[in-house]
Amino acid sequence: MKSDIAALALAAARAAAAAAADVIRHYWHHGVEVELKADATPVTVADREAERAIRQILHAALPQASIYGEEFGLDGERGGLLWLVDPLDGTKSFVRRTPFFSTQIALMDGADLVLGVSSAPIYGETMWASTGGGAWLDGERMQVADTVMIDQASLSIGNVKTLTADARWEALGKLIRDSNRIRGYGDFCHYHLLARGSLDLVIESDVNILDIAALAVIVREAGGVFTDLEGAPLTLDTRSVLAGTPAIHAQALQRLAR
């Protein structure tokens, strides 16, 4: 992707995240009715209005790009330039008045994730990154920690239901026992902490690419490694995450190998 288009796309993604934040803050303070989707997950007017605001800005800035969003699906075709949008990732937290939810906006160029914006308006953080441009939080460049030993590492896990019935469950237990400490920050939060050097490894299953695409770019540009639990790069079908500092990611991947 040309540098001028990349700069335009990043500016548009940041503007779209800010517009979504305005919508989300409004409904955070005024309340919403909760509906259930066909898969029994919650959705609100905040989700839908935030995605509409995002789509309007992204389409105006980059009309040649398709948009794949959590609430309104695919507009255009896969391949080429494709926006990946989750307007309110963490709706369950939102409706239960827990500030661990965010807006996730990423851009794919073919098979490559090239930029990401992760905005958590109530938590009070927005991170962004683009290929070769580093990862940033409010004007400060982010860098993962230099942790190299498991017994010094801080781990965070989330969405691990499927792993409880997986052959890797026992290996995960040993990894936890050998680590320095274990937490479960979840959602955007543990990826932000990883990118800023406050965590060393994140493990998740049961995810959707819209949840993690932007965060993958951010962690990568902060010097980390972000794959699925098999060590494979992300695709539109990715359902698990292993993300960490280079040394800790490599050791965890070996330990969790099936």
Instruction: Give residue-wise pLDDT tens across range 65-119.
Output: 999 999 999 998 888 999 999 999 999 999 999 999 999 999 999 999 999 999 9
Q: Both 31 and 113 in a single domain? A: yes
248 is a domain residue = yes
Q: Both 208 and 238 in a single domain? A: yes
Q: Both 60 and 158 in a single domain? A: no
Mean of all residue pLDDT scores within the chain: 94
192 is a domain residue = yes
Q: Both 121 and 202 in a single domain? A: no
pLDDT score of 56:
98
Q: Both 206 and 97 in a single domain? A: no
Q: Both 171 and 251 in a single domain? A: yes
Provide the number of structural domains found in the chain: 2
The 10s digit of each residue's pLDDT in 200-229 is: 999 999 999 999 999 999 999 999 999 999
Q: Both 78 and 187 in a single domain? A: no
Q: Which domain does 189 fall in, by range?
A: 150-256
pLDDT of residue 3 exceeding 80, the answer is no
3-state secondary structure the chain: CCHHHHHHHHHHHHHHHHHHHHHHHHHHHHCCCCEECCCCCEECHHHHHHHHHHHHHHHHHCCCCEEEECCCEEECCCCCEEEEEEEEECHHHHHCCCCCCEEEEEEEECCEEEEEEEEECCCCEEEEEECCCEEEECCEEECCCCCCCHHHCEEEEECCCHHHHCCCHHHHHHHHHHCCEEECCCHHHHHHHHHCCCCCEEEEECCCHHHHHHHHHHHHHCCCEEECCCCCCCCCCCCEEEEECHHHHHHHHHHHCC
pLDDT score of 195:
98
Q: Both 118 and 207 in a single domain? A: no
136 is a domain residue = no
Enter the pTM of the model. Answer: 0.95
Domain boundary at 69, 101, 131, which?
131
CATH number for the domain including 118?
A: 3.30.540.10
143 is a domain residue = no
When pLDDT is cut at 50, 70 and 90, the band that residue 257 belongs to is confident
